[in-house]
């Protein structure tokens, strides 16, 4: 697929931003400024940026918890993403979600979900809503190779196919689900083939090949929008870091294996293409320095941002009418939840 030098350069900037962002996230997590879990996507930038690029502004994106890169690629400002990791009020989920639950509905990003495969039924529902509202848009639902062995995967694919819903299930096959390789977990390791069980269109491609990712995602999202054809797109990629920052990632794979994959670093591949297209090394180095500066500024911004008010924590979390249901449960709450979190009611 022909991609202009300008577009490629812009996407390279996004990839650099994500790589720098993940490096900073690891550093700040180890400095205890980020709490909870923190899953990095270094190595998966071409798959992330290329698939998100294929989306139109009104399409819906929904992902698992390895989601910093998707939020950034969808245009969420790095300050708002970093502040969310820090649990600050200015975070893109107002500090309620953290690293795994980024959110920016205004930009068509429906989160960041921490339960493996939990986002699939929601994606299916979002696609059904689009059909009911007679809108031409589609849903792109990212999931990991580990999620294809969950019941929700089968249920969601079946329903999407029966009802012809405009959804593309994007399987990020990074070869491992925590410390378990795809070979150990899946009877059929060409994961996209499972779509055949639901009569669904599917493809498997090199997820580190940016133009190929853009082309495949563009084809499948267009089919979803124009013909309500659901599909599965498997992107074969690799995560350079451990499962989460707490996992060094070395007990279930060798340093040789990681080094071998590093030779196919998607950032280096795009850089080589840009160099071949006449962009100077100096210009490319300047882009990398710029990305790093943007991330450092985001860290400073997040550091200076205020923590959310405790009395506001329940705001926006529950549907109208939930108060009555909660009233009985709150009476016995052992940690003073009623007084702290629910002090201002459910914030409806």
Query: Which of ligand TPP, Mg ion, none does residue 271 bind to, with CB < 5 to 8 Å depending on kind?
Result: none
175 vs 337, which CB is nearer to Mg ion?
Answer: 175
Interface with ligand TPP includes 50 (CB under 6 A)? Answer: no
149 vs 229, which CB is nearer to ligand TPP?
Answer: 149
In the region spanning residues 237 to 266, those forming contacts with ligand TPP, defined by CB under 6 A, are: 243
Strands 139-144 and 60-63: parallel
Interface with ligand TPP includes 114 (CB under 6 A)? Answer: yes
78 vs 114, which CB is nearer to ligand TPP?
Answer: 114
Number of C-alpha atoms within 13 angstroms, CB side, residue 147?
A: 31
What is the closest distance, in whole angstroms, from the C-beta atom of residue 281 to ligand TPP in the complex? 33
169 vs 176, which CB is nearer to ligand TPP?
Answer: 176
Nearest to 194 by CA among 182, 177, 207: 182
64 vs 207, which CB is nearer to ligand TPP?
Answer: 64
Rounded to a whole number of angstroms, the distance between the first and last alpha carbons of the chain is: 49
In the region spanning residues 121 to 150, those forming contacts with ligand TPP, defined by CB under 6 A, are: 144-147
Count of Cβ atoms closer than 10 Å to residue 170 Cβ: 30
Interface with ligand TPP includes 108 (CB under 6 A)? Answer: no
Q: Residue 79 is encoded by which pair of tokens?
A: 């300050």
Q: Residue 99 is encoded by which pair of tokens?
A: 């690293």
């133009």: which residue's tokens?
Answer: 211
* DSSP 3-state of 202: strand
What is the closest distance, in whole angstroms, from the C-beta atom of residue 330 to ligand TPP in the complex? 27
Interface with ligand TPP includes 112 (CB under 6 A)? Answer: no
* DSSP 3-state of 77: coil
In the region spanning residues 126 to 185, those forming contacts with Mg ion, defined by CB under 5 A, are: 144-145, 174, 177
Number of C-alpha atoms within 13 angstroms, CB side, residue 317?
A: 18
């Amino acid at each position: 697929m022909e991609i202009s030098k300008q577009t490629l350069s812009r996407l390279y900037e996004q990839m650099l931003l994500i790589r720098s962002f993940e490096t900073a996230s690891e550093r700040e997590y180890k400095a205890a400024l980020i709490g909870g879990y923190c899953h990095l996507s270094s190595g998966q930038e071409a798959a992330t940026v290329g698939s998100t690029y294929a989306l139109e502004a009104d399409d819906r994106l929904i992902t698992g918890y390895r989601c910093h890169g998707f939020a950034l690629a969808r245009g969420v400002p790095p300050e708002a993403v970093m502040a969310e990791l820090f649990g600050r009020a200015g975070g893109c989920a107002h500090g309620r979600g953290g690293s795994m639950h980024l959110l920016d509905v205004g930009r068509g990003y429906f989160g960041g979900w921490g339960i493996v495969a939990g986002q699939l039924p929601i994606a299916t529902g979002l696609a059904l809503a689009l059909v009911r509202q007679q809108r031409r848009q589609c849903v792109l639902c990212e999931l990991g190779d580990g999620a294809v062995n969950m019941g929700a995967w089968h249920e969601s694919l079946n329903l999407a196919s029966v009802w012809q819903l405009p959804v593309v299930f994007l399987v990020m096959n990074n070869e491992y689900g925590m410390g378990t390789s795809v070979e150990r977990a899946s009877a059929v390791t060409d994961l996209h083939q499972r779509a055949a069980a639901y009569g669904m269109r599917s493809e498997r491609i090199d997820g580190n090949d940016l133009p190929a990712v853009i082309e495949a995602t563009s084809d499948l999202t267009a089919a979803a929008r124009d013909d309500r054809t659901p599909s599965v797109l498997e992107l074969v990629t690799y995560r350079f870091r451990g499962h989460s920052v707490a996992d060094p990632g070395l007990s279930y794979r060798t340093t040789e294996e990681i080094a071998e994959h590093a030779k196919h670093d998607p950032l280096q591949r795009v850089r080589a293409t840009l160099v071949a297209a006449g962009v100077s090394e100096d210009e490319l180095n300047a882009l990398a320095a710029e990305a790093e500066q943007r991330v450092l500024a985001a860290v400073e911004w997040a550091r200076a941002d205020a923590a959310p008010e405790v009395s506001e924590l329940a705001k926006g979390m529950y549907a109208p009418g939930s108060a009555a249901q909660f009233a009985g449960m709150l009476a016995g709450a052992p940690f003073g939840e009623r007084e702290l979190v629910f002090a201002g009611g459910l914030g409806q």
